[in-house]
């Protein structure tokens, strides 16, 4: 029997191994999802919301246990793992409180005696999820999707199979009926078969551009809806009047959170030349101060990357950029899966660390002559997840909103997700939205009802 093995990237120890699903076991899971479908759809939104509140309390109760599991499987520093679980509880609370309103019939006045939109569940939704926020990425999709009356099959990244199983158990412990939320341990072939299966109605993926294209193609072949949340290459634009004293910590966190392994991290710092030297001096000092170490220790901020090969890829992108003229001012040291916080300057648009997504603790710094050039450089990207701008000139910030072609634009803050706001990208960062009202309406049939009495 094929197995997925979870290995701690910090010390190389094997944590556990998990049997891969076979064709037979997947058929049983599909059958289980099919059997519960009607009952689940007929359960009121209020009752489904109550179950979600229970998930939230269990998350809070078990945050240390789940946090430890995340840290063991993918190397995230423990304090950040626990925050991840708290954020999951927040998203569950948000939907538990608001789902009834968000899914209520929407009356529209027309020539009919009565016309409205009703939001009906689609059925079984397949989710393909990544390892970087192993609980959050799943919960932010599953909380609204289940509460809308769908069932879920989760195919998680192989290195976080323990988290995948723990999330399945969490829903069962909260009282969800068997078959509502199931974890599958599978590879690409099984995903292909599941997308082709009539019972699976739609698919969502958070992951790489390559994986997104492959899932979108399969979903398209079978005329199934897909939502894709892919990579990002967010610009952090720093105008000459930015308040560094107030925002420098945020700028550092924007890049170094989760050891740099976040789609919405600030990857390219585009800095007006009038503030460049001051910014660099303070930014380097702050990044030097970040504490690297054992991810299980409370005061560690930079852990290890989730796998050694990811650290190698990052190093290659940096070294190729250095060979093209970029300057290494800090870090760029690797040891196994550890990559030291790194700052690279004199980065130009033709270099890998400008053009490609860098998934690790490296800040690419670009000096711009003025505000107009910062915007031109920021929008010179195939990706469109988000941009952030630091300035005290709020009128000017409003005036450039329409110049930013991304899914998010944050002024004087880092791009971050919030259950109350939509989250998603444009261009090579994918399509569709998670969270907020937009997220819960992704996997529903928006049915027009037209009644003449």
Binding site for ligand O=CCCCC(=O)O (CB under 6 A): 132-133, 262-264, 416-417
Which of helix, strand or coil describes residue 91? helix
Q: Closest distance between ligand O=CCCCC(=O)O and the C-beta of residue 60, in Å?
A: 19
- Rounded to 5°, angle at Cα 185 from 180 and 188: 110
- Number of DSSP helices (H) and strands (E) in the chain, helices first: 15, 22
Q: Among residues 231 and 295, whose Cβ is nearest to ligand O=CCCCC(=O)O? A: 231
Distance CA 248, CA 124 (A): 44
The catalytic position among 73, 229, 308, 357 is 229
Query: Buried (b) or exposed (e) across 241-264, using 16+ Cβ within 10 A?
Result: ebebeebbebbbbbbbbbbbbbbb
Q: Which residues contact 122 (CB under 8 A, 6 or more apart)?
A: 150, 201, 202, 225, 443, 444, 445
Q: Among residues 81 and 132, whose Cβ is nearest to ligand O=CCCCC(=O)O? A: 132
Q: Active-site residue 229, yes or no?
A: yes
Q: Closest distance between ligand O=CCCCC(=O)O and the C-beta of residue 118, in Å?
A: 30
Q: Among residues 235 and 263, whose Cβ is nearest to ligand O=CCCCC(=O)O? A: 263
Residue 392's DSSP bridge partners are none
Q: Among residues 151 and 417, whose Cβ is nearest to ligand O=CCCCC(=O)O? A: 417
Q: Closest distance between ligand O=CCCCC(=O)O and the C-beta of residue 298, in Å?
A: 21
- Rounded to 5°, angle at Cα 378 from 372 and 382: 135
Q: Among residues 67 and 123, whose Cβ is nearest to ligand O=CCCCC(=O)O? A: 67
CB 148 within 8 A of CB 211: no
Q: Closest distance between ligand O=CCCCC(=O)O and the C-beta of residue 46, in Å?
A: 28
Q: Closest distance between ligand O=CCCCC(=O)O and the C-beta of residue 263, in Å?
A: 3
CB 226 within 8 A of CB 432: yes
- Rounded to 5°, angle at Cα 315 from 357 and 164: 60
Active site residues: 229
């Amino acid at each position: 029997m094929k197995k997925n093995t979870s290995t701690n990237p910090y010390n190389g120890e094997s944590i556990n191994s998990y049997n891969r699903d076979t064709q037979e076991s997947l058929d049983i899971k599909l059958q289980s999802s099919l059997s519960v479908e009607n009952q689940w759809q007929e359960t009121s939104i209020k009752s489904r919301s109550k179950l979600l509140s229970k998930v939230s309390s269990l998350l809070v109760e078990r945050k240390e246990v789940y946090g430890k599991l995340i840290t063991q499987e993918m190397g995230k520093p423990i304090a950040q793992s626990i925050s991840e679980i708290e954020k999951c509880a927040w998203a569950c609370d948000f939907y538990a409180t608001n789902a009834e309103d968000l899914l209520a019939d929407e009356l529209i006045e027309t020539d009919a005696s009565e016309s409205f939109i009703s939001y009906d569940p689609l059925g079984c939704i397949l989710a393909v999820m990544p390892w970087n926020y192993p609980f959050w990425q799943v919960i932010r999709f599953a909380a609204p999707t289940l509460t809308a009356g769908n069932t879920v099959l989760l195919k998680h990244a192989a290195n976080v199979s323990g988290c995948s199983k723990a999330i399945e158990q969490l829903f069962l412990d909260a009282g969800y009926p068997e078959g509502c939320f199931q974890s599958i341990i599978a590879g690409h072939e099984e995903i292909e078969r599941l997308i082709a299966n009539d019972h699976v109605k739609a698919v969502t993926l958070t992951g790489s551009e390559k994986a997104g294209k492959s899932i979108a193609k399969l979903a398209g072949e079978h005329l199934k809806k897909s939502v894709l949340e892919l990579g990002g290459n967010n610009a952090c634009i720093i105008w000459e009047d930015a308040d560094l004293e107030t925002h420098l910590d945020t700028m550092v966190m924007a890049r170094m959170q989760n050891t740099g392994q976040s789609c919405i991290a600030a990857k390219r710092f585009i800095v007006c030349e009038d503030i460049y030297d001051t910014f660099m001096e303070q930014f380097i000092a702050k990044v030097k101060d970040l504490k690297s170490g054992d991810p299980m220790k409370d005061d560690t901020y930079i852990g290890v990357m989730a796998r050694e090969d990811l650290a190698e890829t990052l190093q290659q992108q940096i070294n190729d950029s250095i060979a093209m003229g970029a300057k290494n001012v800090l870090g760029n040291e690797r040891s196994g899966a550890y990559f030291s916080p790194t700052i690279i300057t004199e980065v130009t648009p033709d270099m890998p660390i400008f053009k490609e997504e860098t998934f690790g603790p490296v800040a690419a710094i670009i000096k711009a002559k003025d505000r107009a050039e910062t915007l031109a450089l920021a929008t010179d990207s195939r990706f469109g997840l988000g941009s952030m701008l630091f300035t005290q000139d709020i009128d000017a910030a409003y005036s450039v909103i329409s110049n930013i072609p991304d899914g998010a634009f944050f002024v004087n803050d880092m791009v971050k997700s919030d259950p109350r706001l939509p989250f998603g990208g444009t261009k090579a960062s994918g399509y569709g939205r998670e969270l907020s009202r937009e997220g819960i309406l992704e996997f529903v049939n928006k049915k027009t009802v037209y009644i003449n009495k």
